[in-house]
Each structure stands twice: as structure tokens, then as C-alpha cells.
Amino acid sequence: MNRQTVTQRLVHYINDNHISVERIQADLGIPEGKLKYSEGEELTASEFLSLCQYLNIHPEQLRNDKDN
């Protein structure tokens, strides 16, 4: 089973939509490593919500319906 965390889903969204990680880091102050998931470090709840707002997506969009 290939289960992804919300951090991984956001990283995929950022990559798929060609959004600049460097710009997000500059604007929000979220470490680049978290935005690339290079070290496997998860976003905090605050970072997650800030990033969702920044990207103009609802957090619920990242929910996996199979999680329930």
C-alpha cells in the first residue's frame, strides 16, 4: 500500500504545478528541505495550514478518502 503523508502530497502538488520552492521559502520561511521532503521531515500543522493558504488550496483536498 502506497500511503502518502499530507507533506508528501503537498510536495507533489508543488512539483506538479512547477511552483518555486525557493519563492515559498522566501515568502513563508518554511525550510527548503521540508518543501522538497529531502530529509523526510514533516510540516508542522502551522506550516501546513500556511502553505495551503499560500497555494490557495483547501486542506481537505489533500485528504486521502481511504484514510477513513
> b or e along 14-36 (b: 16 or more beta carbons within 10 Å of the residue's beta carbon)?
beeeeeebeebbeeeebeeebbe
Inside any domain, residue 11 = yes
Q: Containing domain of residue 44, as a range?
A: 6-60
* Per-residue pLDDT tens over the stretch 7-19: 999 999 999 999 9
pLDDT for 15 equals 95
- How many independent structural domains does the chain possess? 1
Average of per-residue pLDDT across 33-39: 88
Inside any domain, residue 68 = no
The pTM is what?
Answer: 0.83
Inside any domain, residue 1 = no
* pLDDT band of 1, cuts 50, 70, 90: very low
Average of per-residue pLDDT across 15-29: 96
Inside any domain, residue 67 = no
